Structure 1
Amino acid sequence: MSTDTSIAGASRTPAARTDDAPKRRGYWSLWAAVPREFAFLILTMPIAITGIVVISTTFFTGLGLIFLVVGIFILVASLFIARGFGTLELVRLRWAGGSDIRRPAWGHADRGRGFWRTMTAPFIDGHYWLALLHGVVINPIISVISWSLTLAWTATALGGTTGWIWQRYIPDGRGDDSFFLHEVVVDWLVPGNTLSVDPRVGEAVFELIVGLIFLATLPFVFRGLTLLHDVIARGVLGAWRSEALEREVAQLDASRGAAVQAEDASLRRLERDIHDGPQQRLVRLQMDLAAIERTLERDPDSARELLGEARDQARETLDELRALSRGFAPPILQDRGLAVALQSLAARSPIPVTVEIDLPADATLPASIERNAYFVAAELLTNAVKHAEASGIRLTVSTRDSGAMTGHWLDLWVSDNGRGGAALSTGHGLVGLEDRVRGLRGMFVVESPVGGPTTIGSHIPFAPLAAGESAPQS
């Protein structure tokens, strides 16, 4: 038995969450995104015009032929075309550097329910009609605005900053009464000024200043226009909040069903094991005690032999009950925590187990997570001992914080150098473990090629207890 255990001390403090804090984009980082945002904005109106032509043509053609069967197919095609342009908008926004927008489910639940049910599903799916509205009305209007501002701002910035280079090569046909914009601006800013400069030099300087202003504000304008498209696409083309809630409810329902099935299977197995093992031995022990009572006075030697057999039966029954009790949370788990309980579990293994544990020692794991993790580890170690024909086993347990999106996870791995071949097949013990982990909304992974080695693990999400909060025992 070899044990390599490292338990994090209670003085360990959580690492600073610098990754969770919003990253502040500096001015020069905005400039780094200008090429992608310019490409997005300059292509917006051509794509929008193409979309409105194709979508409106197919939609109104199908609407005109609605009384014919072919009109229904054309209408459905127009909705799918609108969906395609909407998806293209989401992809372009992601490419332009925007945050990912969760896409709709697009009526996947209606698949496989008959031809006409599948064909007419877009008519009752609001996402298709929103994509149609976006492609025919919203996107063309917004695209004209953003495309015009992009072109005007870029032309002013480039023309104003470079005009002093190329304007000298353009013939000037203006007379003495020509209009110079800089004079109007200077007179408005400084009424009654008597400044006298060459009008052409003053106009060139004024254009340079305006060009520099437009050039300096170019990243902000591009970012604002891109965000405008992002906000509209997020509200019109993205998935609804109710869909996320429905998916969450479905996952919770599946997890609860898996947990109930796993618990029911465990209870049935425990009932069968008690019936086939300790119960039969206790019946035999009762019969032996009755025989001892009958023969104690007339045949002491036979009674003494029966007492020895009864003692053996009691010892074997006690051993079986101890083995079965491993399916329940042992006192060491409740008293000293998961790390010590796993070490004790590994110490009882007839095959050497290398233990690597990195768990918080400040009782931040909920009791239900600790109990289920202990059960999973116990079952995996038992399977490795019984079936793997291994000479060494490794048990690895750790926690990790994956940030605000995925939260905290408990990772538990059991690997051995045995013959492999473990699989998630019906009736196999690993299926019950998978149901137990799924009931905790976790993931169960089996990697066991024939010939070994075998690595089986589980990833279990959990919400850490607050400082000073006691873990509820359940």
Structure 2
Amino acid sequence: MSTESSSIDRMTGDTTTTERADAPPRRRGYGALWASVPREFGFLILTMPIAIISLAVLSTVFFTGLGGIFIVFGVFFIVGALFAARGFGTLELVRLRWAGRPAITPPRWQRAGGEQGFWRTVLAPFVDGHYWLYLLHGMVINPIVSIVTWAVTVAWTSVALGGMTGWIWQRFIPENDRDFWLHEVVLDWVFPGNTFEIDPIVGERVFEFVLGLLFLVLLPFVFRGLTLLHDVIARGLLGSWRSEALEVEVAQLAASRGAAVQAEDASLRRLERDIHDGPQQRLVRLQMDLAAIERKLERDPEAARELLGEARDQARETLDELRALSRGFAPPILQDRGLAVALESLALRSPVPVTVEVDLDDVTLPAPIERNVYFIAAELLTNATRHAEASAIRLRVGTRDEGAAGHWIDVWVTDNGRGGASAVPGHGLAGLDERVRGLRGMLVIDSPAGGPTSIGAHVPFVPLATPGTA
């Protein structure tokens, strides 16, 4: 079970594990805003120093290179500025993640593999728009925005803390015949012509305390808004483009299609070999027996009768083999009674005892998924029976809903055999891996020497409907 859980986590939780470790506790309401204040304050207070350093470094290197663009060394300075901009932009993404914002998918920097030549590697940033956007962010936009957000952060925090604590420390500061009192200006503006007689020092302390309390109450909203401003800018300039996501998806679909074609070709070749080595040979022998019967029917009826019995046995064995092969296309029990019953029937035919656990969570599977899951389970059981030298096998099939990751069905076969299983090219597990990848799934093999062996196939699917719903 630990192997199953870890592999499932690797499949659908490779990023969520990191997110859980870095993200703040998920709360709701005003308390959640206050819980994120320390991180957001740390992010905002460091924003301007980092932005100023970025501006100084990038502008110095870039304009130096621009000045020498007509000689060779200028190109290297500009490339250096682009790579430095990439570094500062990556730092901004890390800081935003640390501040509690959802992760921003970075661009795909490596596009053509590692076989590029020197000049092609050097000049690659010139034709990659992401580098120029990172440079724009680090040299122009972020410094301007950071100065504003940093100033607001410092001013808002100072007013909040100063107003709340002013009544403690302001008594030690001499007033020096002060004539201007801010609370009087506010009172005259709110209540024109008032005749309030308030001690100026007490009035000023109360006004500052109320103002500090107001700023303190609004502080989480201000910090969140300023952090969101940086987050929005970073998503627009530093994140990957939708076209890149589509490009990755197209590549994955092409790879899945290629794996499916290869798996189908291997299946057809295996079926052709099985037909040639089995039913075809028996039919050839049956044809020869019938010819011999025809020759001996009048001369030696007893011998003909004996050959007829052998021919009948040949026909029966041929029919049994054809039925077995037909189960490789679409097992009748799978179509008639469903996946769970088909898997139990599959386990009963195994020469090694098989424990079956099926939990489909009342999800209706598409017919192609049911058929492929049956084939995968059959192949895994056959592999364990033939090669594992096991005395017990456990087959577990279950579905799970991973939310945004969609629905998945997991097929696990665990045996207590000798272990050492691997997806060797040209062998059963390699072909099974191609079949699973053709379904946009994943095959996990955990088979240390000496056993036990756990092999899991994880396949995504779209449920047709939930039984009992319209």
Post-superposition offset of 1:311:
2.2
TM-score norm. by structure 2 comes to 0.92
Asked whether the 8 Å contact 1:411–1:458 carries over to 2, the reply is yes
Deviation for aligned residue 1:468: 6.4
Distance 1:226 1:160 in 2: 24
Give 2:334's aligned residue: 333
Instruction: Give the 3-state SS of the residue equivalent to 1:83 in structure 2.
Output: helix
The Cα offsets for residues 73-100 of structure 1, whole Å up to 9 and x where unpaired, read as: 2211111100000000000000001111
Question: Residue in 2 aligned with 1:442?
Answer: 441
CA distance in 1, matches of 2:406, 2:177: 69
- List aligned pairs for 1:2-401, cutoff 5 A: 25-109=28-112, 111-175=114-178, 178-361=179-362, 364-401=364-401
| Partner amino acid, structure 1, of 2:458 | H
In the alignment, which residue of structure 1 is the partner of 2:10? none
2:101 counterpart letter in structure 1: G
Query: Could you tell me which residue of structure 1 aligns to residue 16 of structure 2?
Result: none
SS in 1 for 2:395: strand
- The answer to whether the 8 Å contact 1:131/1:236 transfers is yes
Task: Encode CA deviations 1:229-279: one digit per residue, 9 max, x unaligned.
Answer: 000001110011111111111111111111111111111111121112211
Structure 1 residue 342, shift from structure 2 partner: 0.4
**Do the aligned residues in 1 keep the contact of 2:61 with 2:81 (CA within 8 Å)?**
yes
Larger RCO, structure (CA 8 Å, separation 6 or more)? 1
Q: For the residues of structure 2 that align with 1:336 and 1:55, how far apart are their CA atoms?
A: 68
- What secondary structure does 1:149 align onto? helix
Larger deviation, residues 460-469 vs 305-314: 460-469
Q: How far is 1:469 from its partner?
A: 10
CA distance in structure 2 between the partners assigned to 1:339 and 1:69 by the alignment:
70
Preserved contact between residue 181 and residue 203 of structure 1 (Cα < 8 Å): yes
> Alpha carbon RMSD of aligned pairs, Å?
1.5
- Could you tell me how far apart the structure 2 residues matched to 1:60 and 1:285 are? 88
What is the one-letter code of the residue matched to 2:395? L
* Secondary structure of 1:459 counterpart: strand
Q: Is the 8 A contact 2:388 2:415 kept in 1?
A: yes
Q: Which amino acid in 1 is paired with 2:206?
A: V
Aligned amino acid, residue 265 of structure 1: A
Shift of 1:67: 2.4
More displaced 10-residue stretch of structure 1: 188-197 or 70-79: 70-79
1:388 aligned partner, one-letter code: A
Aligned to 1:12: none
Looking at structure 1, the residues matched to 51 and 368 of structure 2 have their Cα atoms a distance apart, in angstroms, of 54
Does the 8 Å CA contact 2:389/2:418 hold for their aligned counterparts? yes
Give the Å deviation of 1:313. 1.8
Question: How many positions carry a matched residue from both structures?
Answer: 444
Any gaps of 5 or more consecutive residues in structure 2?
A: 1-25
1:152-197 superposed Cα distances (whole Å, 9 cap, x missing partner): 000000111111110110111125xx11111111011011111111
Tell me which moved more, 45-54 or 192-201.
Answer: 192-201
Aligned to 1:429: 428
Q: By how many angstroms is 1:302 displaced?
A: 1.3
1:100-159 C-alpha deviation (Å, 9 max, x unpaired): 111110143253222222221111111100000000000000000000000000000011
Work out the CA distance in 2 between the residues paired with 1:309 and 1:115.
Answer: 75
Aligned to 2:4: none
My pick for the range that moved more, 191-200 or 229-238, is: 191-200
- The aligned amino acid for 1:40 is F
Q: The residue matched to 1:120 in structure 2 has which SS? A: helix
Which structure shows the higher helix fraction? Answer: 2
Whether the 8 Å CA contact 2:364–2:467 is kept in 1: the answer is no
Gaps of 5+ in 1: 1-22
Report the residue type matching 1:149 in the other structure.
Answer: V
Once residues 291 and 113 of structure 2 are traced to their aligned partners in structure 1, the CA distance between those partners, rounded to angstroms, is 68
